[in-house]
């Protein structure tokens, strides 16, 4: 190897600093995305649970000239799909909070964001499950909201949002936050998979 091909003495520390900086930025990014996901989930959950509206609905019975009014209250507990949404988001909030604490502890004690290989596997699997749970919950509520807004004449379901406008507005705002939380969480899922398979890649390279 000639003099021109020899590596510069300054390259090694520079590359090392770049790798350390990149790893630190990734740790901060993952924690920040988990925190953002947690905040959006809490907002979505709080909006849906606290959402309530009582309205007098006009009903005209056959054979009666006058219209009677019945008071009805719209809450999340009246629809099975929305109950699933609240339950799923509650699980996701608890998981995200636990993962943030565990991630901070791992970084402070080991300097890594995933820790051991077994921890990386657990994080990878749970992140996948929570992501699917969030997507399914938001999709179910979106479908329920569509029917509430548009109605379904084939099965005799009337529009609900025309009578419960405030409830439907808060309902939609909660759903938007749930979808934003899902979008924010997807990069975290990708990073957890990257960390896991990188461990096996590094192990394979060392064995050669």
Is the pLDDT at 18 greater than 50, yes or no?
no
Banded model confidence at residue 64, pLDDT cuts 50, 70, 90 = low
pLDDT tens per residue, range 34-54:
999 999 999 999 999 999 888
Q: List, for residues 68-99, the tens digit of each pLDDT value.
A: 667 888 888 888 999 999 999 999 999 999 98
pTM, whole model, 2 decimals? 0.78
Q: Where are the domains of the chain?
A: 28-207
- 104-113, 130-139, 153-162: which has the minimum mean pLDDT? 153-162
Please tell me the distance from the alpha carbon of residue 168 to that of residue 160, in angstroms, as a whole number: 8
| Residue-level pLDDT at 15 | 45
């Amino acid at each position: 190897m000639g003099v021109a091909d020899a590596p510069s003495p300054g390259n090694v520390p520079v590359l090392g600093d770049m790798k350390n900086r990149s790893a630190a930025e990734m740790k901060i990014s993952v924690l920040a995305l988990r925190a953002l996901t947690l905040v959006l989930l809490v907002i979505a959950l709080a909006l849906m649970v606290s959402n309530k509206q009582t309205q007098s609905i006009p009903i005209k019975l056959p054979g009666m000239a006058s219209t009677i009014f019945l008071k009805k209250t719209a809450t999340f507990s009246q629809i099975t799909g929305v109950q699933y949404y609240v339950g799923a988001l509650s699980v996701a909030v608890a998981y995200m909070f636990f993962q943030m604490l565990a991630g901070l502890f791992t970084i402070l004690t080991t300097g890594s964001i995933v820790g051991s290989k077994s921890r990386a596997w657990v994080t990878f699997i749970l992140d996948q499950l929570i992501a699917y749970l969030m997507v399914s919950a938001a999709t179910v509520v979106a479908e329920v909201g569509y029917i509430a807004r548009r109605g379904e004449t084939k099965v005799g379901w009337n529009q609900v949002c025309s009578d419960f406008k405030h409830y439907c507005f808060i309902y939609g705002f909660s759903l938007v936050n749930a979808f934003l939380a899902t979008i924010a969480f997807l990069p975290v899922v990708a990073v957890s998979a990257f960390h896991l398979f990188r461990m096996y890649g590094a192990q394979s390279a060392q064995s050669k």
